[in-house]
Each structure stands twice: as C-alpha cells, then as structure tokens.
Amino acid sequence: MARKRGENMRDIEFAFSGAGLDRAAHLRSDPDQWVAARILPIWQGKVLLDQTAQRLAWVDAAHTLSQLADLAVFLGIHKQTPYFAIDVSSQDMTGVPQSDGFLDDTTQTHPSLPDHLQFVELRQIMTQLPALDGELAATARAITGWHASHGFCAKCGGASAPAMAGWERHCQSCGAVHFPRTDPVVIMLVTHGNQVLMGRSPGWPDGMYSLLAGFVEPGETVEAAVRRETMEEAGIKVGNVRYLASQPWPFPASLMIGCWGQALGTEITLDPNELEGAIWMTREQVLQSFADPNAPIRPARKGAIAYDLIRNWLADTL
C-alpha cells in the first residue's frame, strides 16, 4: 500500500503508486538485465502471488515459465535488482477462471510452481501489497495488456512485434513505431456544502456507490472533462475544479486523475445510459457507511483513489 505525502493532499493512501520505481529506460536495449532479474509472470491479466507471504511471487530466467513466455518486459531496477514481467497467458493453468461477476476471485497455478504460488486478480489483493509490489504489478499488468490488444499496426494493419524490452512495438510491414498508451480518466469529488455526489454503474455489487468518473476526450482539458462528465451523468453543473492526485489504474490502461469540483446546484438529472443511480451523501452519512460494513450504501473500494479522496474530504485534509 502506497503511503506518501502528496503536494496537495496531506495523507495519500492508495494502491499502485508511491514506491518510486526506477524505470531505467536507458537499459531497455541491454539484454544482460534479464539474466539476474526477478521476473513476474502474468497470466490473462492476473499476477502471480505468494499466498503465504501475501507478496508478489517471482521466478528467475531459468524457470520453465520464463522459457515458455510469449513476451518479456523490463519494468525497471530497484536496489540493483532488475525486474521484468512475462506474459504466460497462452499456457494451460490448473483452475478455471470466473467469466462473469464483478471481480474474479478464483486462482490458478501452473504445474511448474509450488501450490502456494497462484495467479490472482490484482484488485483482490491491491490493499495488501507493499508499495513496490503494487507499482510493479500495476506496470506489469498495464504493459502486458497493451501488447495483448495491439498485435497489429494501427497505420497499415500489418503485424507488429515487441521492441525496446517491451516498451515499443514495431510494424513488420511499414516500420511504424507504436508506444504503450495510457488513457486519462477524470474522477471527481463533486461537493456542495456538506454533501458529496456519488453514483453507481450497472453491474456493481448492491449498495456500492463511488465518485463519478469518465474518460478525457481528445482536445479536452482535465477541468473541462470534469464539468462535462458530471453534467452528462448527473445533470449537475460544476464551477471551480482543482487537481488533487492521480493513480495508475491498469484495468486495462487508465490513469485516474482525481479532482475536486464545486457543484453549483444539487438537482440530479440522471443519464440512465451512464449511471444506474446518483445520490448526494452528507459527511455524516458517508462516515456512517465507512464505519458499518452492513450499511445499505458502501462508498468506493479501499485501495482505489476514490476512497482516498472521500476520506480526505471527511478529514478536511484536501
């Protein structure tokens, strides 16, 4: 779990950031890093976890999975140790993943691994992982996910191949160079006096509400995206907007940009295509739902930036 003091927020505590991983981009063309590396296997978006230690599990370059990997990506260096991710999604695992539902809580493993090393959905364990593990896992999941969905050149349609230790893809036909993408998403704490605006999407667990969020569109500023999304989804006009903090959210490739918006009114007009529900909650109501696991309304999920924005608003530390 990342713990740091941000520029704006006094107490930030969310997953996937804060460890200060050195990505060592100058070493991406140096194949020697692989030999001494700690290597994180990723299988169909799941990370390998040591269930006993509740830490990421690593293999070395000689391991069967490293030999069978479809792709290797250099993640960076920490305390002189190089870190890589490998994608082993094409390998058969024991254990069947769950295909529906909100979060897949099944685990899988490979015959070459001891039983306590299992592939798990990253969101299930994000609050347990130490900061460095969280940052490495988020990077690994995002970059392997990008490769998995960008096998062909966006310019000519030809097949592309990984390059620069996994940080580029080069088209085999026209030579175009493609870089990994990150999709900016605004997530906004919209307040009006003592109340915060919360919404829920279709398919979320019963009673779960969180801050409104939406993709930034081409040609749009972060502030404009906050105002547009809040208007589109809930019909609320937002005035002043301030940036607070950001969180990588590799499901599959988002960067969550946390903002604080001042609502100019409170009358909600719901867009049912975007949201199933939207409500104003007072500080007291949010505190109550944080304290009571059986409360009818459960705001956000621990480890996600929304939870932290709300927590800091409650503590008056924004």
- Distance of closest approach, residue 163 Cβ to Zn ion, in angstroms: 13
Nearer to Zn ion by Cβ, of 152 and 243: the residue is 152
Q: 175 or 265: whose CB is closer to Zn ion?
A: 175
Judged by CB, which is closer to Zn ion: 95, or 151?
151
- Contact between 19 and 134 under an 8 Å Cβ cutoff? The reply is yes
Counting beta carbons within 10 angstroms of the beta carbon of residue 202, is it exposed (0 to 12), middle (13 to 18) or buried (19 or more)?
A: exposed
For Zn ion, the closer of residues 63 and 155 by Cβ is 155
Could you please report the per-residue DSSP string of 69-111?
A: -SEEEEEEEETTEEEEEEE-TTS--BSPPP-SSSS----BB-T
Q: Binders of Zn ion among 167-226, rule CB under 5 A?
A: 171, 173-174, 176
Q: Report the interhelical angle of 305-314 vs 283-291 (nearest 10°).
A: 120
- Rounded Cα distance between 13 and 309, Å, is 10
Beta carbon of residue 255, minimum distance to Zn ion (angstroms, whole number):
27
Q: Considering CB under 5 A, how many residues would be counted as binding Zn ion?
A: 8
User: What's the closest the beta carbon of residue 159 comes to Zn ion, in angstroms?
Assistant: 9
Q: Is 156 one of the binding residues for Zn ion (CB under 5 A)? A: yes
- Comparing CB distances to Zn ion, the nearer of 176 and 208 is 176
Residue 155 sits in the site that holds Zn ion (CB under 5 A): yes
Out of 31, 158, 205, 239, the only residue in the binding site for Zn ion (CB under 5 A) is 158
Cβ contacts of residue 274 below 8 Å, gap of 6+?
201, 214, 232, 233
Residues 56-115 that bind Zn ion (CB under 5 A): none
187 closest CA partner among 121, 281, 261, 102: 261
Q: Is there binding between residue 300 and Zn ion (CB under 5 A)?
A: no
Taking the complex as a whole, how short is the minimal distance between the CB of residue 169 and Zn ion, in angstroms? 10
Binding-site ranges for Zn ion (CB under 5 A) = 153, 155-156, 158, 171, 173-174, 176
